[in-house]
A and B are shown apart, each in its own frame.
Chain A
Amino acid sequence: MRTLSSTPHSANPVARERDGRRRRRTITLTVLSMLVILLVAASLMLGNTFYPPGDVTRVLLGQDVPGASFTVGRLRLPRVALAVIAGVCFGLGGVTFQTMLRNPLASPDIIGISSGASAAAVVGIVFWGLSGTLLSVFAIVVALGVALTIYLLSFRRGVHGTRLILIGIGIAAMLESVTSYALSKAPQWELQEAMRWITGSINGTRWSGVVPVAVALAVFGPILLAQARNLSQLQLGEETAAALGVRVERTRLLLVTAAVGLIAFATSAAGPVAFVAFLSGPIAARIVRHGSLLIPAALVGSVLVLAGDLIGQLAFDTRYPVGVVTGALGAPYLLYLIIRTNRTGRSL
């Protein structure tokens, strides 16, 4: 207390601690955002042809630059936009499920919701020739149906997390075989196009594919953020949350609808980009120790998709779709998760 600072506020250790946390959080979020911006810039500049920052900036400002206007403005920009937006959607949707079900493994890509959206998209394209918004809407309806089915099937004197996850795994296996069946019936087999629905890809993105996802994010994102407080209280358990004044069923319905909406729209544009929804939340939790994980996870999701796409485009002789890279990244993380669980002695 010798070095009393000028403001009486910081004399209070609790307030000081809170300020410190808040500052650390702000710094972390700023760093993450910078990383996203850096990756966006890199993705716009790098590729078959390198365009210096000056050219890219001029294209972004709407000026006509020979060559760059087409490559950067028409090819790379929509692709990068989808990477950012889909990453945010996957991150938000994934961390919502993980937090709500209180299990890092209960992410939508493990328990079958992404598989549902993906299967719906493939069936819609191959058998009914759907596209655009109609396809997205179909994907979200099916994904919601899958979520509801999993929930109802796991309901037996209350929903138990373990049962829900296992049933989700079973449903996912079934839906994946539907996807592979529909793909086998596609009129002309295009491996790159099929990849999109198996592991996720943002190759050949056009603005028309980006817009529905952006709208979905604008609608569902704020709903999730508005529920952030209730979500963190749900994490304490249903009874505690109810005692704290959370209307559990209503909150859960809102959260599930919004999260499934985000996942389904993003999947109908980019495919089920492997493991992004699964990885974003836990990585965010490592970086940010306190407060809501929604925004950090959203940023981490963007970073993962952008970085995965950049690596897939540039690091190898063959251009890999983003899902192949993120899928391979999932393996070491999974090992780490299980080894850590072993060390701390907690059960998964």
Chain B
Amino acid sequence: MRRPARVRSLWLLVVLALLVALAAASLSIGSREVAWSDIVAALRGDVDSVAQAAIAKRIPRTVLALLAGAALGIAGAVMQGVTRNPLADPGILGVNMGAALAIVTGMAWFGLWTQTSMIWTAIGGASVTAVLVYVMGSLGRGGATPLKLALAGAATSATLSSFISAVVLPRGDIAGSVRSWQIGGVGGATFDGISPAVPFIIVGMVICLASARALDLLALGDELAAGLGERVAVVRGLAALGAVILCGAITAVAGPIAFVGLVVPHVCRLMVGVNHVWLLPFSAAVGAALLTASDIVGRIVARPDELAVGIVTAIIGAPFFIAVVRRQKVRGL
């Protein structure tokens, strides 16, 4: 399904406009009403009034929502491409839970508290889980069918969450911080917390974007891709590594956030077609928009309280997941 360049450019403009609008809304909406002049002042660095101070706290939050959404969107698109599976998502496949277990273990047993060490740990946990789930899901007849991958992921998630409980329970002292991190959210973001993750996100995105052409070839089937001179296993491993780095880094900073990686690539394919060179950047933009929008929704629906963004994405994403399942031909699944 190729789309004419004009359609793509049009969508690009629409998505970018949406992003700007959502970022502005994210700065202005919250439990305190603020004026536009305050926003402009706060963006220039003034924190004179209470309103400006409130906005100054919303800036890192918005940045994190944009970054996390973009990273998860790309990671989802790459995972769906690598596994050739419409249901692949870092949350469904248990990769986020693997990162979570690694982080919780690091906190409880090895006293890891610095952001950078948490990110490395998360990437380690995410990689191991991704390999494990993929191997489990591709055993047996028919290779990695969506059903087997989803089941392997769901069951692995359940098991890992038991292990997380086992690690946290004896440690009443860290339970509170683990809990607030685990619910997932961008609410308490600070620039100091975000900045260690930025290099990882950049590296992950570069790897993913560099794999775009190879993912297109993989979509033709492994034999054909190999026939066209692609080293299938290497490409697949490398692209997956990029996605795992992104998931690990985001999970470390914002907690496990599910379903963004699932929803976004499907929406983007409808807009720009299946070409990964276009699909990946679009997934980043739409992912950023979706996560920012979810964060705003979470702030509005539970006023004056807030709904963590991970909960909002699950409520939005699960019906979408179901719609995808219903659309697929059963044999194809």
Q: Which residue on B lies nearest to A174, using beta carbons?
A: B318
| With A162-B147, A180-B311, A328-B163 already in contact, 17 other A-B pairs whose C-beta atoms are closer than 8 Å | A153-B322, A166-B150, A170-B321, A172-B154, A173-B258, A174-B318, A199-B165, A275-B159, A320-B165, A323-B165, A327-B159, A330-B159, A331-B159, A334-B136, A338-B152, A346-B141, A347-B142
Asked whether A163 and B258 contact (CB < 8 A) given A173-B318, A191-B172, the answer is: no
Q: A182 to chain B: closest CB distance in Å?
A: 10
| Chain B nearest CB, measured from A274 CB (Å) | 6
Q: Which residues of B contact A286 (CB under 8 A)?
A: none
A189 is an interface residue with CB less than 8 A from chain B: yes
| Alpha-carbon gap, A176 to B156, bound state (A) | 15
Q: Cβ of A347 and Cβ of B140 under 8 Å apart?
A: yes
Given contacts A163-B330, A335-B136, contact A169 B159 (CB under 8 A): no
The answer to whether B155 and A110 have CB atoms under 8 Å apart is yes
With contact pairs A170-B321, A334-B156, A342-B140 given, residues A156 and B169 touching in the complex (Cβ less than 8 Å): no
Given that A110-B154, A170-B321, A342-B140 are contacting pairs, would A324 and B147 also be in contact in the complex, using a CB cutoff of 8 Å? no
A: number of interface residues (CB 8 Å): 55
Complex CA gap A192/B325 in Å reads: 36
Q: Binding site of B, secondary structure by majority: helix, strand, loop or mixed?
A: helix
Chain A residues within 8 Å of B, Cβ to Cβ: 105, 109-110, 153-154, 156, 160, 162-163, 165-167, 169-174, 176-178, 180-181, 184-185, 189, 191-192, 195, 198-199, 274-275, 278, 317-318, 320-321, 323-324, 326-328, 330-331, 334-335, 338-339, 341-342, 345-348
Min Cβ gap A213→B in Å is: 22
For A156, give its contact among B92, B136, B326 (CB under 8 Å): B326
* B308 partner, pick from A173, A184, A274, A320, beta carbons under 8 A: A184
User: B30 an interface residue at 8 Å Cβ cutoff?
Assistant: no
- Residues on A with C-beta less than 8 A from B311 are 177-178, 180-181
Residue in A160, A278, A328, A339 with the greatest tally of chain B CB atoms within 10 Å: A328
Please give me the residue from chain A that is nearest to B162 by CB atom.
A327
A346 contact set on B, CB distance < 8 A: 140-141
> Closest CB of chain B to A190's CB: distance in Å?
10
Minimum C-beta distance from B86 to chain A (A): 11
Q: Give CA–CA (A345, B163) in the complex, Å.
A: 31
Contacts of A154 in B (CB 8 A): 326
* B146 interface residue (CB < 8 Å to A): yes
Provide 9 A-B residue pairs closer than 8 Å at the C-beta atoms, listed in order of the A residue: A156-B326, A166-B333, A169-B92, A169-B151, A199-B161, A278-B155, A327-B159, A338-B136, A338-B140
Residues in B with CB closer than 8 Å to A330 are: 155, 158-159, 162
Q: Report, nearest first, the 10 A-B pairs whose CB atoms are least far apart.
A: A327-B162, A174-B318, A177-B314, A318-B170, A170-B321, A342-B139, A331-B159, A341-B140, A166-B325, A347-B141
User: CB-CB < 8 A to B52: which residues of A?
Assistant: none
The answer to whether the Cβ of B179 comes within 8 Å of any Cβ in the partner chain is yes
Per-position 1/0 for B303-333, Cβ under 8 A of A = 0010110110011011101100110001001
What residues of B have a CB within 8 angstroms of the CB of A166 in the complex?
Answer: 87, 146-147, 150, 325, 333
CA distance A346 to B310 in the complex (A): 37
Q: Are A345 and B147 in contact (CB-based, < 8 A)?
A: no
Chain A residues whose C-beta falls within 8 Å of the C-beta of B120 in the assembled complex: none
Give Cα A321–Cα B161 distance, bound, in whole angstroms: 13
Residue B148 interfacial (CB < 8 Å): yes
Closest beta carbon of chain B to A178's beta carbon, Å: 8
| B69 proximal to A (CB < 8 A) | no
- A327 CA / B157 CA spacing, docked (Å): 10
Could you say which residues of chain A place their CB within 8 Å of the CB of B146? 166
Complex-state Cα separation, A346 to B179, whole angstroms: 41
B91 adjacent to A173 (CB under 8 Å): yes
* In the bound complex, CA of A317 to CA of B170 (Å): 8
B182: chain A residues at CB < 8 Å are 180
Q: A274-B158, A345-B140 are in contact. Are A324 and B321 (CB under 8 A)?
A: no
A334 to B77, CA, bound (A): 28
CA distance A218 to B161 in the complex (A): 33
User: B24 near A: Cβ within 8 Å?
Assistant: no
CB 8 Å contact bits of B68-109 with A (1 = contact, 0 = none): 000000000000000000010001100000000000000000
B100-144 CB contacts (< 8 Å) to partner A: 136, 139-142
A173: chain B residues at CB < 8 Å are: 91-92, 258-259, 314, 317-318, 321
